[in-house]
Amino acid sequence: MPNKQEETQYLAPIIACANHKGGVAKTTTVVNLAAEFSRKGCSVLVVDLDPQGNASSHIGKIDPNMYEKNAMNLFCDRNTRLDKRLVAELIQTDVNPGFENVSYIPSSEDMDSITETLRTKSNRPVEELKARLQLIRDVFDIILIDCPPSLNLLTGNAISAATHYIIPVDTSTDYSRSGLLRLANFIEYTSTDTNPDLMYLGALLTRHSASINAQKAVAFEVSSIEENMRGSTGNGGVLPVYIHNSSKVGEASILRVPVRKIARSNKVAEDYKNLAHFLMEKLALQKSMIDEVA
């Protein structure tokens, strides 16, 4: 029988934002969602698994490569597997304005070399991240993982560690049906063994305009692929909130703040606010949330 404390222990959901296609707004989504969750009173952890470190440099004040320890240690430092304090040492809290309740684990330029290291040194190369994040799930309200633009061991680790995932699809550029199917196969193949309870939250249409016919066609095609992929669980589909296109997104990333910080009533800021609201209800985040500051 579990004791009372175990019954009531809160474990943060872990959402991976994945797509091997670059430039589809994975990082933009992670960064702005993190800010919106934080405005709603959640304590948020962002784990940056992309060697390019865009999420780290957007959220953090310091060049991610200046940190002695970073996400590499989540994979290569054996001691972090069992010691919560060592994982906690990797978490940074020195953040830019707009990310007040957000912490992050910075990535490193060397992360690409992890694949080789893990394949030779680990018995379970795809489950290293999972072991570490399990140790700190009770510390945060929500954990977001920014994935690199490839179907490698880093993305595999994210898929094994996550409780949920989102696939951003940019409807404003050339879109690949076969790419989406390949991604779905990779996720299914990886999670069947390592993470059978993984839940798909859905495809997130980004830079989307519902009034441009070509983009409408892409959205329609994505939703028909999604319908076919739903399977017996009924998970997934296209998320009910989509993200508009706005030049403020690029501006915010240059200034290293959430979009809301430079354009309060911007459509994209509103979209991410609505997406955070939707996800909070869907995931039933359990910590007491304060009213958002207007």
**Of 19 and 80, which has the nearer Cβ to Mg ion?**
19
Separation between Cα atoms, residue 142 and residue 178, nearest integer Å? 32
CA 260, CA 257: separation in Å to the nearest integer?
Answer: 8
Are the C-beta atoms of residues 76 and 117 closer than 8 Å to each other?
Answer: yes
Between 257 and 276, how does the x/- string for binding to ligand ADP read (CB under 6 A)?
-----------x--------
Query: H/E element holding 180?
Result: helix 177-194
Q: Does 26 bind Mg ion (CB under 5 A)?
A: yes
Binding track, positions 1-40, relative to ligand ADP; x by CB under 6 A: ---------------------xxxxxxx------------
Contact 57, 63 (CB under 8 A): yes
Residue 245 is a binding residue for ligand ADP (CB under 6 A): yes
Q: Residue 250 binds which entry of ligand ADP, Mg ion, none, with Cβ cut-offs from 5 to 8 Å by kind?
A: ligand ADP
Backbone angles phi, psi at 205, to 5 degrees: -75, 125
Minimum CB distance to ligand ADP smaller for 218 or for 285: 218
Answer for the pair 125, 119: CB distance below 8 angstroms, yes or no. yes
Does residue number 249 form part of the binding site for ligand ADP (CB under 6 A)? yes
Q: Give the dihedral sign, CA 286/294/97/16.
A: positive
Q: Are 95 and 105 in contact (CB under 8 A)?
A: no
DSSP label of 246: -
With binding defined as CB under 5 A, does residue 27 bind Mg ion? yes
Site string for Mg ion, 44-73 (x = CB under 5 A): ----------x-------------------
Among residues 97, 231, 240, 250, which is the contact residue for ligand ADP, using CB under 6 A? 250
179 counts as binding ligand ADP under rule CB under 6 A? no
* Site residues for ligand ADP per CB under 6 A: 22-28, 54, 149, 206-207, 243, 245-246, 249-250, 253, 268
